């Protein structure tokens, strides 16, 4: 049985329908037995338990690494978008704000007329006050965002492939765990402690 055709273990205990239909329960147990044998053969084809466990661990690590990379790229892209929007707003409203600061007469009237742009500029200035100068160009930020988007397209393709591989390894791992659990001897039962007789016979 190829890895692509290996199906997940049937949860007999977790589904009451198998308890109600004896024949269905026997069929499910037979399917689990067949798939467990197939999973064992796959494990051996990987080079044995040690080699399989390393492959399984490495695959999980790769998936986690790709996911973390995508997350980091998304967070960086979000930051760049905020920066780009603040710079765009700052540049767009800078002439109005300069005119406002240089206005000597009817300053409040000017502000009232251009209040939206002035507030936007003040907010953008506040967001950018701790950013190192000179500020990057919007075009440069757009280029960086395009590269991040392209990188994540590649990362997501790799993640899809690795997740499909990990899904199959997960199934093999579950069957091997099931096989070990089914064939492990039960733990030794502790003998019940005998109560000591009391010598106190006083009435």
Q: Is residue 200 part of a domain?
A: no
Q: Given this model, what pLDDT does residue 88 score?
A: 97
For the residues 62-78, what does the mean pLDDT come to?
98
Pair of tokens at residue 53: 């466990």
Q: Is residue 189 part of a domain?
A: no
Pair of tokens at residue 46: 């990987």
Least confident of 130-134, 138-142, 163-167, 195-199: 195-199
Q: Is residue 153 part of a domain?
A: yes
Q: Is residue 164 part of a domain?
A: yes
Residue 98: domain span: 8-183
Q: Is residue 86 within 8 Å of residue 110, measured between CB atoms?
A: no
How many angstroms from the chain centroid is the CA of residue 137? 33
Output 153 or 171, whichever has higher pLDDT: 153
Q: Is residue 195 part of a domain?
A: no
% of the chain residues with pLDDT over 90: 57
Q: Is residue 197 part of a domain?
A: no
Helix residue ranges per DSSP H, 46-137 = 49-102, 107-113, 115-128
3-state secondary structure of 48: coil
Q: Whole-model pTM? A: 0.72
Q: Is residue 91 part of a domain?
A: yes
- The tally of domains found in the chain comes to 1
Q: Is residue 141 part of a domain?
A: yes
Band of residue 33 on the pLDDT scale cut at 50, 70, 90: confident
Pair of tokens at residue 148: 């991040």
């Amino acid at each position: 049985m190829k890895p692509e055709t290996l199906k997940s273990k049937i949860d007999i205990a977790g589904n009451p329908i198998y308890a109600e239909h004896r024949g269905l329960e026997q069929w499910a147990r037979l399917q689990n037995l067949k798939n467990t044998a197939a999973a064992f053969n796959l494990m051996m084809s990987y080079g044995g338990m040690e080699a399989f466990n390393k492959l399984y661990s490495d695959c999980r690590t790769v998936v986690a690494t790709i996911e973390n990379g995508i997350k980091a790229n998304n967070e960086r892209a979000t930051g760049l978008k905020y920066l780009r929007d603040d710079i765009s707003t700052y540049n767009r409203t800078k002439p109005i704000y300069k005119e406002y600061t240089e206005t000597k007469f009817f300053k409040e009237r000017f502000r009232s007329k251009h209040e939206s742009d002035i507030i936007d500029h003040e907010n953008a200035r506040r967001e950018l006050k701790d950013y190192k100068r000179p500020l990057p160009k919007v075009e440069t930020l757009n280029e960086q965002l395009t590269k991040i988007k392209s990188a994540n397209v590649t990362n997501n393709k790799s993640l899809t492939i690795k997740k499909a591989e990990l899904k199959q390894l997960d199934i093999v791992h579950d069957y091997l765990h099931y096989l070990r659990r089914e064939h492990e001897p039960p733990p030794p039962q502790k003998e019940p402690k005998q109560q000591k007789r009391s010598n106190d016979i006083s009435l």
